[in-house]
Structure 1
Amino acid sequence: MAFFKVQVKRESNTLRHFNVVADRPQGALQVAASQLREEGITDARAIEVIGQVQSLRD
C-alpha cells in the first residue's frame, strides 16, 4: 500500500488536501471520493492526486 496526497476542489472555493492509503493513484481517487461522501461533502467539483508521500503525516 502507498500513501497519496489528494486535492479536492469545491464549489465553495475552499481547497481541501488530505492523505489516503491505496495501491495506485486510481484507487486513491476512489478512497477520497468515498471519504468525502462519508463526511457529507456534496460540493466537490474535482479530485486529483497531487503525488505520493512517505507517510500519512506528510
Structure 2
Amino acid sequence: MAYYEVRILRCHNPPKMLTVTAQNSQQAVRAAAADLRQEGVTDARGVEVIGQVKSLRG
C-alpha cells in the first residue's frame, strides 16, 4: 500500500487536502470520496490525486 495526497475541490469552502492509503491512484480517489461521505461533506465538486507521498515524516 502507498500513501497518496488527494485534493478535494469544494463549491463553498476552501479546498481540502487528505492523505489516504491505497494501492493505486484510482483507489485513492475512491477512499477520499468515502471519507467525504462519512464526514457529511456535500459541496465537493472534484477529487484529484496530487501525487504519491514518499514519507509521512515531516
TM-score, reference length from structure 1: 0.92
Q: Please list every run of 5 or more consecutive structure 2 residues that lacks an aligned counterpart in the other structure.
A: none
Q: How many residues align?
A: 58
CA deviations on 1:1-58 (whole Å, 9 max, x unpaired) are 0000000000114110010000000000000000000000011000000000023456
Please name the residue that 1:12 is paired with.
Answer: 12
> Does residue 1:30 correspond to 2:26, yes or no?
no
Give the superposed CA RMSD: 1.3
TM-score, reference length from structure 2: 0.92
Q: Please list every run of 5 or more consecutive structure 1 residues that lacks an aligned counterpart in the other structure.
A: none
Which runs of at least 4 in structure 1 moved beyond 4 Å after TM superposition? none
